[in-house]
Amino acid sequence: MATAAMFVQQGLVATLARVDPERTRRSIDTAETSWQQFKLLHRSVPRIVREP
């Protein structure tokens, strides 16, 4: 279930992605790596590997 806080967070990420897409991509990749290490991220689809 989506909450108001989730909508605000998604809006912020979308705005930042428009301002600096490469930095946003790196930040998301770093966060996902940390979540995987702590077993907090469970994917039902394979992770998309991007070329540097």
Check residue 22 and give its pLDDT.
92
What Cα–Cα distance (Å) separates residue 15 from each residue in 18, 28, 39? 5, 14, 28
Check residue 20 and give its pLDDT.
92
Check residue 23 and give its pLDDT.
92
Check residue 1 and give its pLDDT.
67
CA-to-CA distance for 50 and 29, rounded, in angstroms? 10
Dump pLDDT digits (tens) for 1-52: 678 888 998 899 899 889 999 998 898 889 888 888 887 766 655 666 666 6
